[in-house]
Amino acid sequence: MPLPSKCCRVAVHALCLLIAHSVPLHAARPLITDDARIVDPKSCQLETWVRRNVDSREYWALPACNPTGNLELSFGGAMTNELGSTHTTDVQVQAKTVFKPLEANGWAIGLAVGNLRHPGQRRDFASDLYGYVPASYSFANDRVVVHTNVGWLRPEDRSAHRFAWGIGAEVKLNERVYLIPEVFNQNGGRAHFQAGVRYWVIPGRMQVDATYGDRLGGGQGVRWYTLGMRLLSPAFLP
C-alpha cells in the first residue's frame, strides 16, 4: 500500500537526519518544567533518557515534530525494568503551541495539552489528561532563562483535577555547559527538586545531560538520577 510505504520512507529519512544533522535550538530537556519554545518549523527532535529510581530503571524515548510551523506534536513512552521484568509502563501524547516566541531579554508564553497512560494499569484512555501554560523569561542576553509552568492534571486514580506548577532555569556557564536547576509539584504534598548539567557535544546540535532529583526535605524511596541525550533535525517535512 502506498501510504505505509511513504510513511516508512519519511521515518527512515527522519532518523538519518537526526543522526547526521541538527540546527541550533534550545529546549527544556532535562527539565521537567517545560519551556515556552517548540521545535523549528518542519523539523523534528528526539529526546531519549534513562531514569534510575531507587528500585527501578526507566528507558524513555520521546520524538517530537513541528509539521505546521507552530504546533509541536510528540508521541513516545517508557520501558521500565522492575523486579527483574521489563515492560511498557508509559505512553505519552502531547500537543504544544507558542503564542509569543522567546527573544533575548524578552518573554514567551504557550499552551500544552496531553495524555499519559500506563498500559495494563488503566482502561480509560482519558484518565490521565493534563494541560499547562509554559512561560519563559530571558535575562542577560539569554545567559539565564527562567521557565514557569502552571497547569492541571487528573491522575488515573482520581476524578478530581489537581493543580501542578514548576519553576526552572537554564544558566549558561560557557558556550557548551549549562546548569539546570528546578523545583516542581505535580502530585500534591511536598514539592520535588532536580538539578544537573547540560553539555552540547556539538554546540546547538547534539546535547547530553545528567541530573539528580529528590523530594524537598528528603524522603525514602523518592530520589532519582537521569542520563539523557537530545538530537535535532533540520527542516525536512513537506
pLDDT above 90: residue 157: no
**End-to-end CA gap in the chain:** 20
pLDDT above 80: residue 127: no
Residue 64: beta bridge partners? 45, 74
pLDDT above 50: residue 16: no
pLDDT of residue 118: 80
For residue 238, whether the previous peptide bond is cis, meaning omega lies within 30 degrees of 0, is no
Mean pLDDT of 19-30: 45
pLDDT of residue 119: 80
CB atoms within 10 A of CB 204: 14
Mean pLDDT of 111-122: 83
pLDDT of residue 18: 34
Mean pLDDT of 32-38: 95
pLDDT above 70: residue 177: yes
**In terms of pLDDT, which residue wins out, 100 or 190?**
100
pLDDT tier, 8 (very low <50, low <70, confident <90, very high otherwise): very low
Average pLDDT, the chain: 85
Q: Dig out the grid coordinates for 174 from the structure.
A: 560557557
Residue with cell 519554545: 37
DSSP annotation string for 91-144? EEEEEEEEEE---TT-EEEEEEEEEEE-TTT-S-GGGGEEEEEEEEEEETTTTE
pLDDT of residue 21: 34
pLDDT of residue 226: 97
At residue 11, φ and ψ (nearest 5 deg) are: -65, -45
pLDDT tier, 28 (very low <50, low <70, confident <90, very high otherwise): low
Mean pLDDT of 23-31: 56
Domains and CATH numbers, the chain: 2-232 (2.40.160.40)
> Could you tell me where the beta strands, DSSP code E, fall in the chain?
44-53, 57-65, 72-82, 85-100, 107-117, 129-139, 144-153, 162-172, 177-185, 192-202, 206-215, 224-232
Q: Dig out the grid coordinates for 76 from the structure.
A: 513516545
Mean pLDDT of 146-153: 95
